Amino acid sequence: KGKLAVRANADNGPDAKNARDFGAEGIGLCRTEHMFLGEDRLPIVRRMILADTPDEETAALEQLRVAQKADFTEILEAMDGLPVTVRLLDPPLHEFLPSTHELAVKEATTGLSGEEQKLYQAAKTWEEFNPMLGTRGVRLGVIKPGLYAMQVRALMEAAADRVRAGGKPVVEIMIPLTVTREELALARSWVEDAVAEATKGVKKRLPVLIGTMIETPRAALRADEIAEESDFFSFGTNDLTQMTFGFSRDDVEGRMMSTYLELGLLKRNPFETIDKSGVGELVKIGCERGRKVKPNLKLGVCGEHGGDPESIELFYEAGLDYVSCSPFRVPIARLASAQAVLGPS
């Protein structure tokens, strides 16, 4: 085992710059949905969702591509020469729409404009009973294929511009929530096509890794199959913890966690320090099975556990190459990672 690198989670240029100043060795998670939430972006995302024709959808996607390209350019500039792992859109679409409850109240009180009426219909269409387990991540990519292609083109055009400007972009594209090899093979084919299209005029070959998040127990157990289509794995331990325990974090932490800890039913909050014998075991299985198929498979973790010293120890034992945490936790993680490598003194 070599060293355990520390990367940071960063979604924009200033965060990426901060992370680098704190000593991060790259970005382990760039969440692209945050780029959709700005005041100037949200209306475009909604236009894409409301589009009645393929042409309207394409026009909205085109506007988003231009906006995302600018964001990616800033991040790649701040992280020049270091790896940047970009996660394609993860949340379900209803998160970009007003809540059905708000619109229902407005309809009953002051009435809705024509535009609001359309939004209300869309919000009802996309609303889900259990969004965490619903149409998100790669599943959304399957039913809206243009979405991921647009994001990859924006990213690769930004990377191509950096190369022309003399930069050294190191791009890793991450597909969220994959649970089967077939899903990843399909998503990988769209990503490869979009990469080829966006880098047509670039003389220098742009190395790109395409990988996936491992955030469900099934993905960890079938990691050998998934590795066949993947250049790297990043364990999303927040969701992996939710799905392994069957805990909805927002509900459980507010309501019962303190009682469980007081009664000793749990020794610690599994969202803060990884549950070694359950979730940690799945991480180890995922690493072993993935590397059995691809000995050089790159392995990382992005999730709050990436900044927790005790969890970092387990990640080092499991054979991970890097952990990724929020920028201000990078110094703590670097210390913990050095201690894990040195072992108990």
The predicted structure's pLDDT at residue 203: 78
Contact predicate 304/272, CB 8 Å: yes
The predicted structure's pLDDT at residue 219: 99
The predicted structure's pLDDT at residue 247: 97
Quote the longest CA-to-CA distance of the chain: 69
Task: Tell me how far CA of residue 308 lies from CA of 281, 290, 314, 322, in angstroms.
Answer: 17, 24, 10, 13
**Homologous superfamily in CATH for domain 5-92+128-342:** Phosphoenolpyruvate-binding domains (3.20.20.60)
Strand, coil or helix: 94: helix
* Of residues 64, 36, 63, 77, the one with CA closest to residue 159: 77
Residue 242: HSE in the Cβ half-sphere, 13 Å Cα cutoff = 17
E strand spans, the chain: 5-9, 27-31, 83-87, 170-175, 208-214, 232-236, 298-302, 322-325
Q: Other C-beta atoms within 10 Å of 269: how many?
A: 16
Tally of residues, the chain? 345
H/E element, 119: helix 114-126
**Residue located via tokens 């491992």:** 214
The predicted structure's pLDDT at residue 204: 80
The predicted structure's pLDDT at residue 262: 98
Task: Tell me how far CA of residue 244 lies from CA of 55, 209, 212, 225, in angstroms.
Answer: 42, 28, 19, 20
The predicted structure's pLDDT at residue 114: 87
Q: For the chain, which residues make up each domain, given as ranges?
A: 5-92+128-342
The predicted structure's pLDDT at residue 345: 63
The predicted structure's pLDDT at residue 315: 98
What amino acid occupies position 252?
A: V
- Walking along the chain (345 residues) 10 residues at a time, the average pLDDT comes out as 93 97 98 94 96 96 97 98 98 95 92 91 94 96 95 98 96 99 98 95 88 99 99 98 97 96 98 98 99 98 96 98 97 97 84
Contacts of residue 2, Cβ cutoff 8 Å, sequence gap at least 6:
none
Q: Other C-beta atoms within 10 Å of 187: how many?
A: 24
* Of residues 108, 101, 100, 79, the one with CA closest to residue 18: 79
